[in-house]
Amino acid sequence: MFAAEPRFFSRSIEDDEERETRLRRDRSQHALSRSLQTDEQLKERRAAARQRYHELLGDASTHLSQERDRIQEIRGTWSDEQRAAQVEQDRLRRNVNQLSTSDEESTVYDIEEQPWLNKEGSGFMYNVAINYAAYGNIGALEEGCAHCQARKWKGEPNGMCCASAISMNKPTCEADTSPIWTLVWSGDCKVCCIM
């Protein structure tokens, strides 16, 4: 085949003309290399491409099957209330998606139409039809971490704040005599512990 010439610039900084030149050169090199192929090489290349294609289809099918199983497992743990909320949210999403896009007025809909029903886990499933700003109160930080005393929400898993509750070494409040420490440390024990 052809030896690749050294690239002294990044594709992200090339202008349109340089890009077109590079693509034209690549197309001509590929056309030349394919015209020099024997029938046997052509058959091998096409067979390899077909095999890669079928492997990708199989990988995608396997991934989709695993994803379906994972979602079924998650949904199996839902309460009746969560299931009903998800069904309602899906119904509202379908209604919004089925709005006609041909008429400009029909694409305008009230963003309040879709309430934020299922808050748990919704940080991973952003929905543009929900006005999250209207739901500013997400609860009080009522509990504290047993390891680092960070404030957390009720029901929040332990260890989210301090690397899975790895034992924390709290600094002592002894003054260091180094010049930088003298500038930082004001003599207040609370400041020392924060530092």
Hey, where are the domains in the chain? 15-75
pLDDT the model gives residue 154: 76
Q: How many Cβ atoms are within 10 Å of 112's Cβ, its own excluded?
A: 10
Which pTM was predicted? 0.30
Q: How far apart are CA 96 and CA 80, in angstroms?
A: 25
pLDDT band at 102 (very low <50, low <70, confident <90, very high): very low
> What's the alpha-carbon Rg for the chain, to the nearest Å?
30
Least reliable range by pLDDT among 9-13, 37-41, 49-53, 87-91: 9-13
* Strand, coil or helix: 173: coil
pLDDT the model gives residue 9: 57
Q: Looking at residue 162, what DSSP letter applies?
A: T
Question: CA–CA distance from 115 to each of 15, 47, 75, 109 (Å)?
Answer: 47, 52, 21, 13
The answer to whether the CB of 136 falls within 8 A of the CB of 118 is no
Q: Which two tokens stand for residue 124?
A: 């991973």
How does pLDDT run across 22-67, given as a tens digit for each residue?
A: 999 999 999 999 899 999 999 999 999 999 999 999 999 999 999 9
The DSSP secondary structure of 104-157, one letter per residue, reads GGGG---GGGS-----TTGGGS--TTS-GGGG-------EE-TTT--EE-TTPP
pLDDT the model gives residue 10: 76
How does pLDDT run across 150-167, given as a tens digit for each residue?
A: 888 777 777 677 765 454
User: Half-sphere exposure (CA, 13 Å, Cβ side) for 183?
Assistant: 2
Count, residues in the chain: 195
